[in-house]
């Protein structure tokens, strides 16, 4: 066995930046044919041009878009082997600072999209009796954290979607797992903050909370996603893999 993805047809959401873009690059390097999805048209096309992949621009919180896109990819290539649900957003607030619209938006992007895309994907995977889905959870899907209530709730839901769907399809050749990243050096680490953290701020965060004493790079998460998509992970399903520099081991 190897971690080669040669011949695999993959869809990766959130592919315009951060961990999604790193996963696109990792999959292409491993031989996969990738379609990336993002609502950031400029960023998505830039990654697509760089990697020789196909970009589809759209909103993954829209059920019809998700179904049509998955069906389109499967029809174009004759199959769908891997779905990576990486697209996500964050709202930094406690309950009192979270409006109804903010709650609905983060739920739509972080939870609804995972459900819509996975539901569409498994229909094709069941028919071919093979496939892998990798969801992006978080350390905050297992542990609570102050000031990010909605985000914690969504990632907990992603972890449970992962486990439940894995059990539903375990005997159909479909493996469903999740990565649970810790602090990663991506644009999201600055999203929703009153000030953009400096390099010194980020190092102080790492020193205070992460045993390895540094933030992860997106490529380090992408390599674990590639492993989960590969035949090397043939006996892994329903697992939540922390990639967090030891944070949850504390």
Phi and psi, residue 2, nearest 5°:
-150, 170
Question: Which residue out of 116, 151, 235, 247 is catalytically annotated?
Answer: 151
Burial 135-157 (b: 16+ CB within 10 A, else e): bbbbbbbbbeeeebbbbbbbbbb
Angstrom distance (rounded) from CA 250 to CA 248: 5
In eight-state DSSP terms, residue 198 is P
CA distance 36 to 195: 31
How far apart are alpha carbons 186 and 166 in whole angstroms?
29
Q: What is the dihedral of CA 215, 188, 236, 29, to 10 degrees?
A: -80
What Cα–Cα distance (Å) separates residue 48 from each residue in 14, 17, 179? 12, 11, 24
User: How far is CA 23 from each of CA 66, 141, 202, rounded to the nearest angstrom?
Assistant: 19, 21, 23
The yes-or-no answer on residue 151 being catalytic is: yes
> Which residues are identified as catalytic?
151
């Amino acid at each position: 066995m190897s971690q080669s993805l040669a011949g695999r047809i993959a869809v990766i959401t959130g592919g315009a930046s951060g961990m999604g873009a790193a996963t696109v690059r990792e999959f292409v390097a491993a031989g996969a044919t990738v379609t990336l999805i993002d609502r950031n048209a400029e960023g998505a096309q830039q990654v697509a041009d760089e990697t020789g992949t196909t970009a589809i621009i759209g909103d993954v919180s829209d059920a019809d878009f998700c179904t049509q896109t998955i069906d389109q990819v499967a029809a174009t290539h004759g199959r769908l082997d891997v779905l990576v649900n990486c697209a996500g957003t964050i709202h930094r607030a406690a309950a009192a600072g979270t409006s109804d619209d903010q709650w609905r938006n983060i739920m739509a992007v972080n939870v609804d999209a995972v459900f819509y895309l996975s539901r569409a994907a498994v229909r094709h995977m069941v028919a071919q009796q093979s496939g892998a889905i990798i969801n992006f959870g978080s350390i905050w899907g297992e542990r609570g954290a102050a000031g990010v209530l909605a985000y914690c709730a969504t990632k907990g839901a992603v972890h449970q979607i992962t486990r439940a769907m894995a059990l539903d399809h375990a005997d159909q050749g479909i493996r469903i797992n999740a990565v649970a990243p810790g602090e990663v050096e991506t644009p999201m680490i600055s999203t929703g903050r009153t000030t953009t953290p400096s390099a010194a701020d980020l190092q102080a965060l790492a020193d205070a909370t992460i045993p390895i004493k540094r933030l992860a790079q997106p490529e380090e998460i992408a390599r674990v996603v590639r492993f989960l998509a590969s035949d090397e992970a043939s006996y892994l399903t329903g697992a939540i893999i922390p990639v967090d520099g030891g944070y949850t081991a504390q």
